[in-house]
Structures are given as C-alpha cells and as structure tokens.
Structure 1
Amino acid sequence: MRWVTYDGGAGPRAGLVDGETVRGLPAAVTLLSLLGDDGETLAEAGAAARREPVEVRPLSDIRLLAPIPRPPSIRDGLCFLDHLRGCYRAMGRSTQLPPVWLETPAFYFANPAAVVGPHDDVPVAPGSTLFDLELEVGAVIGRGGRDLHPDTAERHIVGYTLYNDWTARDHQQRDMAQGIGMGKSKDSAITLGPALVTVDELEPHRRDGRLAFELSATVNDREIAKGSLADMDWTYGELLAFVSRGTELVPGDVIGSGTVPGGCLLEHVDTPEMASFTGWLQPGDVVSLRGDGLGETRQVVRPAPAFVPLSTRT
C-alpha cells in the first residue's frame, strides 16, 4: 500500500493512493493513529478506503504533505561509510576512517518541527551560503519496542519514504567546532514523502535479504548521484538495534538511512565530473529525489528568511 497525508482544501487527511487518485479516510484518522501493531489496523483502513472512501480525489488536485507530518521523533543514521569518506576527501582530510565508525552506526536526533512535504518550497537556512541536499531513505516505525535484535528489528518497520536531509554546510562547520552535535546545520528542513510505502509493497525490490531499490538525486534535472539502499554498510536491522538500545522506539518514529554515497553537493566539490557545477544551492534551484517504488520529491529552493545576528562574546 502507498499511504499519503494530503490537503484537498479542507485540512490534512490520510488517504490510500490508487493509481492517479487518492481514496481519503475520515478527517479524524491520521496515519500515525493507524500504527502501533503488526500492520493489521493499517490493512483494515486500506480495505475501508478501497470499499467506502470518504472522498476520491485526483492526485493532481491535492497538496501532498509529509506522510507523517510531525513524527514523534526523527533519528538520522550514517549507514553509508563511503558518504563519510567522500565528505572527508572534500574537506581535505584522510579518507581512512577512525575505528569508532566501524564499531557502531552513528546517528543524531533531528527536528520533527522541520518536516516539510515532497513538493513544498524550501528556504535556504537563515544565514547560510553553503546550502546542500542529502539523498536518503526514511524507515517509519510501525510497532514500537526497545533493545531490538539486529536479526529481527526490521519487523518493526511499517514502511519507507524518501528523506532529504537539507544541510547548511557553513553552519555545520560551527556545529562541529562546538562539538556537542548537530545544531542549526540540520534544523531548517527535512523532506519526507511523497508516500509511506508499506514493506510488503517493496518486497519485489528485495535481493539477498536486503531492499535494493535504486535511488537518485538531481539538481535542475542534472543527476548528481545514483545508488542503492543495498549498499548500506550498516543494515537497517543493525541501526534499529543500536538506536533502540536502552530506550524506546514508538510508532511513527522516522529513522534515516544516512546519505547515499555522492548524494550531496559537498562530496562533489573537487570531483572532475562536477567541474561545471555552479556551486551550492541557490534560490530558484529545483531539487528532486527519486526511488524505485518510493516515487519522487520535487522542490524549489527559496531565499533565506531574514534574521537578527547575535553579538559575539568577548
């Protein structure tokens, strides 16, 4: 099943995608409210949407929101180590990773209030001149749990969605210098969508036990990255086992895969194939993510809002 949250003019509503239409549920029903078990409630809602929808609307007539517009929490992993090596290379650092990166997957907490829909405009982060995209996949937790086992943790995932981790690289340099984690560099926008695609729908893309759908990113219709979710160094099962260690995952939590290698502008700063690229994202640029079985996001970058600078301490 492909589930969306949409606004047809009367406020947000959950619906089931059926071809080029969406079959809406009652306004009081959210996708988040349908999670919490092994998928039975979501399956029943899908049957109800097919049998007796509240409304049937063409996809072209509605605005798609993020499938889970305000997740309980968002954790973004770093499961493609070649992405990290590419960033190190761009920053003039050795691509030999410190051993800590090989011991556990890394992740940080992101901002649920920053979530935007798959076709929403995205302003540049205030004060940033090095604004970037990141090509990722988000897993949505359907059934909560803690201290999950890496061999069975993926059973807690109800489905997947595209995830664009917009990043202000200049702010990130300050965050890294301060050394207490991601701050304003990751705070301005996170794209989720266009749909929450259930695990069963994606089974045709599974190879050797792993989901292997192809992913790509374009800027102004120029492809900057292409890869596969199967290339993760840390699997989703391992990532979920680690992030749930000693704490609770709850239905609706979103867990990012980390960036597909090459899936951000930073990795291409000094590569020959990007020699003619015009630089960091600018107002008017069109950024698109695509994934086999997941669909496509397409968004326009807008100018940064004004802000009042702070006085530095002496």
Structure 2
Amino acid sequence: MRLVTFLTPTKLTRAGWLTADGVVDMHAISGGQLPTDMLSFIDDHERYRALIQENDWEAAEATYLSESVKLLAPLPNPRSFRDYIGFEMHMLNASRSFGHTIGSAWYEMPIFYFTNHQAIFGPGDEIKRPAKETKLDIELEIACIIGKKGSDIVAGEAQPYIFGYTIFNDWTARAIQRREMEVPLGPHKGKDFANAIGPCIVTADEMEAYRCTIAEADFAAPLRFPHGPTNRLDLTMQTRINGVTICEGNYKTAFYNFEQMIERASENGVNLMPGDILGSGTVGWGSLIENNFNVHRPLEPGDVVELEIEGIGILTNTVV
C-alpha cells in the first residue's frame, strides 16, 4: 500500500492510500472502522490491514481525485525521529569538506542523533531558510517507520518491526552546523528547523521486491558489524534542483541497513515505538557540502528541490 495523509476539499486532515487517479479516505470507505490519522493506523496496523483485505477496500475507487486534495507529510506526528549516518561515501566526503577524519567508532556501530520530530514538513511545503544562514543544504535519505513496539531487537529479527518506507530530506544549515560541531556533541540547531518526508509511506511488504545482497568487497573498508553479507534494498536515488540533476545514487550502497540500526537503537532495553522514524543517513554525494557547494551553490529562496527514490516517488519542496 502507498499510504498518505491529506487535506480534503473541506480542509479536514485524513489518512488513506493512493489510487491511480486520487486518494481513498480510509475512515470514510470503512464507515468509521479505520482511523482518521496515520499514527493511529500504524499503532494497530495488523488488525486494520486485515480489515482492508477482508472487505477488499484497497481496490475501492478514489474518494477524492488527486487535484482536489493536498498531500501532507504522510506521518505528521512521529513519536520520535532518529537520523543515522549510514553511508560510508557520505562520511568520507563530508569529513573531508569539514576538515575532519572519520572516528573509528563509526565502523563499529551505527551512529545516530535525535532530530526534531516537531518540525515535520510534507510534499509541496515551503521550507524557510533560517535567519542569517548562508549555506543551506539538503540531504537525500530514505527513512523507515517502525510498526510495533520492541526492545533489544537483534538485527536478524528486525524486519517485522518495519512498517514502511518514505523519502526523507534532512534539511541542514551548514554554516550553523560547522560552528556548533566544534563542540563534540553532534548536530544541534543546524538540523533543528525542517525535516521533510513523503510523498507517501510504502508498506514494507511492497518494498521486498527490491531486496538484494551486497558483498563486503563492495565497500571501501571491511564491514565490522557482525552480520556477514549485507541485506539491502536496491533503490535508485536522485536529487534535482530547479530541474537539474545534482546527485544520483543507490540505497544498496549503505554501510549499515535499517535492521542493524534497529538493533542499535533498541539496545539496553530501549523501546522502539510504532510511529518512530529512523533516517538512513545521506547517500554518497547526496548533499551539497560533499563537494563544498561546487556542484551547486547553497540553496536560496525560490529554489525547488526534488528528491526521488525508486518505488516511493518524488518529494518536492521550495525554499523561501
């Protein structure tokens, strides 16, 4: 399923799924048996999806045509939002641009920080450049949404905890970030103002068609995370700014996959909850800082950014 949150013609916020020509309002099609919001659907998604299958609601005609609704962030209110640094190429490029080296710990465990789960934007939303910021940047990522509660989850048993996937643009104020990261505490205000996700959540079962296995020899350094050959999703990823392609990559080049990230996040009895989001980190060359803004200048008001990931769609935002 390709799940969305949208604004109806009468300005009601509803959850549903995409059809060829519009959206189905899950609450309306079910006579109130399905919820109005995405977080409630995720909380009890196994029961709700059984209802959908039993009643063949997924095959229903669109409640609203596409042109009559506005898509919002598919999960406007995640319970938490962890963002990882999962691609070695991005680490190498960004570290070089910042004049840093990669700490050995990065090769020993997936590293994450908590980003602002209250600053969620969706497809078509305007992103305000922070005041006095001179090096506004984007980051091309895929994100997974957790579907059930769990703690101390081992990577080999983590796939059932993934509800679905979406595109994630980790908007970044590089000038702010460069200064504040002189203090070894990780990102702060440079990552605090905007997290864009969308246009939909593709449920995990639909993404399994892209599953592949990558050998350790495909990476610049040995994989030290003890899970052998690495399961990935073979998904092309692309960034366009004002219609010009800036970056092309593939999620299968990730050093750490989401199952490994789930293991790390849930260690020491920490509960992952339905509606938590995990970001993959930026695909190699998926941010402008990686070549010191030589491929494209820092973003300015009026710039239109499109992130596209195979199997999910296109997430578009405009800088203001």
Structure 1 residues 291-306: aligned runs within 5 Å = 291-302=309-320
**1:37 Cα shift?**
5.4
Shift of 1:182: 1.9
1:232 aligns with 2:254: yes
Mapping of residues 1-314 of structure 1, within 5 Å = 1-8=1-8, 9-26=10-27, 28-36=35-43, 39-45=46-52, 47=55, 49-50=57-58, 56-94=63-101, 97-208=102-213, 209-246=231-268, 247-269=270-292, 274=295, 277=296, 279-302=297-320
> What percentage of residue pairs aligned between the two structures are identical?
34
> What's the CA shift string for 1:166-221, capped at 9, x where partnerless?
00001112321233332210111100100010011112212234211111111111
Against the structure 1 CA distance between its residues 66 and 270, is the aligned structure 2 distance closer, same or farther, given a 3 Å change threshold? closer
In 2, Cα distance between equivalents of 1:154 and 1:50? 24
**3-state SS of the aligned residue for 1:69?**
coil
Partner of 1:60, secondary structure, is: helix
Shift of 1:270: 6.7
Asked if structure 2 preserves the Cα contact closer than 8 Å seen for 1:117 and 1:194, the reply is yes
In structure 2, do the counterparts of structure 1 residues 212 and 51 end up closer, same or farther at CA, with 3 Å as the change threshold? closer
Shift in alpha-carbon separation, 1:43–1:81, aligned structure 2, 3 A: farther
In the alignment, the residues of structure 2 paired with residue 205 and residue 151 of structure 1 have an alpha-carbon distance, to the nearest angstrom, of: 18
TM-score using structure 1 length: 0.88
Deviation at 1:98, TM superposition (A): 2.4
Structure 2 segments unaligned to the other structure (5+ residues):
29-34, 214-230
**Aligned residues of 2:39 and 2:77 also touching (Cα < 8 A):** no
> Which stretch has the larger CA shift, 172-181 or 82-91?
172-181
What's the counterpart of residue 224 of structure 2? none
- Contact kept in structure 2, 1:36 and 1:144, CA below 8 Å: no
- 8 Å contact 2:166–2:202 — kept in the other structure? yes
Distance in 2 between residues matched to 1:237 and 1:79, nearest whole Å: 12
Q: What letter corresponds to residue 81 of structure 1 in structure 2?
A: E
Summarize deviations over 1:8-65 as a string: whole Å, max 9, x none.
Answer: 2332100111112101022752121122357342352475643668x71112221111
Q: What is the identity, as a one-letter code, of the residue corresponding to 2:314?
A: E
User: In the TM superposition, what is the alpha-carbon distance from 1:113 to its structure 2 partner?
Assistant: 1.0
Q: Which amino acid aligns with 1:241?
A: E
Aligned CA RMSD, in angstroms, stands at 1.9
Could you tell me whether the CA contact under 8 Å between 1:122 and 1:300 is conserved in 2?
yes
1:194 corresponds to which letter in structure 2?
P
Count of equivalent residues:
294
